[in-house]
Amino acid sequence: MLLNILGFFIVLLEVEANADGCDGVIGCLPEKYRRVFGGVPIRKKPLSRFNLGGKSGGVIFNATWIEPDSSFSYLSNRSSTDDVFKKLNAKNKMVVIIHGWQIANTPVKEMINGKLTETVQLGTWQNDLEKVLFEKHDEVNVVIVDWRAGATVGYRGAMANTWIVARETVVFLKAFINRGLALEDIHVLGHSLGAHVAGIIGNNLKLEFGKKIGRVSGLDPAAPSYDEVPGAFMIDTHNAELVDVYHTDTKSRLWSNAGLPGQHGHADFYVNGGEDQPRCKKLKTISKQELCDHFSVVDYFVQSVKSPTYAIRCGSFEEFIAGKCKSCGRRKCAVAGYNYQPFGNHKDGKFFYQTTEETKDKCAKSTVFEFKTFGAPESFAKQNNVSLELKLVSNESKTRIIKDSSLLPTIFNSRRKTFSLVRPIPCGADIFPLERIEILLGDVQSARISFPIRQIKIFTIEPRPYRAKFKRVSRKKNVPIVFRRPTDK
């Protein structure tokens, strides 16, 4: 099947809403919304309809789908799109992708509505997601909502514009719904402020049709100034039959966190804990790290289309990383990302999973290491600057090194007989099943000190996990301490 692109550029005329905040096409601005966004603390009113910023003239909808014998683009105003809409296969699922605040993007000039217009460069993630959707899913329609004109003003101005953008998108979608697109086949997703636009769209369609759309996905929904906003104007569990939210920047060292903390969907996924992303720590400045944290979520979501990632329901990231939530039994796991799928009918909860930068798809298997010890001797607890490496050796002699000296305080200062920790291993590492595990300690000051670990259990967090137990067989000092499966000779 050939990929054919139909670009809908909705020509936005210079039409002001009347004194009552009403417009003949998108309807009236709710009084509650006007109180929230027109008064304290926002002090910003939405810009006039069709003039979201006055730069590009308004909202642009770029729609793409698979069609065997057609390839055309179309530029028209809202009243003359009927013939074009008939070309769409309304039986296909509709995925609507919405960007967030664009004030920091690179200034550019583009031909928009027949005019060379000053605007900003649109991020690439929307097109990346569209591309991978067509690679993996033929029967899908994709709409990219380009509202840069309303997103290049100050943050609170862009925040105030979210309702106008949502209403424009509702009008656009209704043209397809009236031609047979089922509400349950609509999936709206957005990043940052775009997540709240997605929520408003879902809420408005529910009010108009008396039924919820299929799904709304929020990618690190924007946090600043949303602590007092009513649920009707932000992402919320009432927006769709399924609302899934992905958190990557819920805590900041510089300013108010960019991403919304807390649980706001049926299923909330906290990637790498949801606060800071390991991939961003190598950046030189804290401000760049914070931006990286907030935008990492879109990369993870794009990659999730191709690589299934399993997340597990848990009370907190601290409990997850300590291995306290380690089994997918009793429907505790879910497939995270675009291909979201709960195990069983229990879709609600807080879920956690990890990623890796070692592979392009970022996919990692969260792997539990459970240690049994003799109890750490006092002499070992006093060791300083001791390094530790875990070497995993597969049955095919493939190896993987985990360098993690952060294990040492837990191993050597704990009197617990059993403790666990979770570390990510790339999905494509092909390291399992294991033949043995080796532990190498560096800078140990005395060869007489005994190593306290006597057994290691390992298992992956996934529906069909790899599970194995390894017992210590090596007794020599200053060489790798070897653990093998009990059945091995």
Positions annotated as catalytic residues are 192, 220, 294
* Dihedral pair phi/psi, residue 146, rounded to 5°: -105, 100
Sheet holding 481-484, edge to edge: 399-403, 387-394, 434-442, 481-484, 467-472, 453-460, 364-373, 418-426
CA distances from 401 to 268, 371, 372, 429 (A): 32, 17, 21, 11
Which residue has tokens 């957005």?
190
Which residues in 170-315 belong to E strands, given as ranges? 186-191, 213-219, 240-247, 267-271, 309-313
SS3 (DSSP) at 281:
coil
* CA angle in degrees (0–180, nearest 5) for 68-72-78: 120
Closest by CA to 317, choosing from 251, 219, 236, 372, is 251
CA count, 13 A, side-chain hemisphere, 374: 11
Cβ neighbour number for residue 202 with a 10 Å cutoff:
27
Closest by CA to 458, choosing from 474, 470, 475, 443, is 470
Cβ neighbour number for residue 479 with a 10 Å cutoff:
11
**What is the β-pairing status of strands 387-394 and 434-442?**
antiparallel
Per the CB < 8 A criterion, the answer to whether 425 and 365 are in contact is yes
* Dihedral pair phi/psi, residue 428, rounded to 5°: -95, 15
Rounded Cα gap, residues 287 and 255, in angstroms: 9
Residues in contact with 191: Cβ distance below 8 Å, sequence separation at least 6, in sequence order? 98, 99, 100, 125, 219, 220, 295, 297, 298
Q: Where are the alpha helices (DSSP H) in 391-431?
A: 407-412
Per the CB < 8 A criterion, the answer to whether 300 and 244 are in contact is no
Element (H, E) at 99: none
Q: What is the dihedral of CA 432, 272, 190, 185, to 10 degrees?
A: 40
Residues in contact with 318: Cβ distance below 8 Å, sequence separation at least 6, in sequence order? none
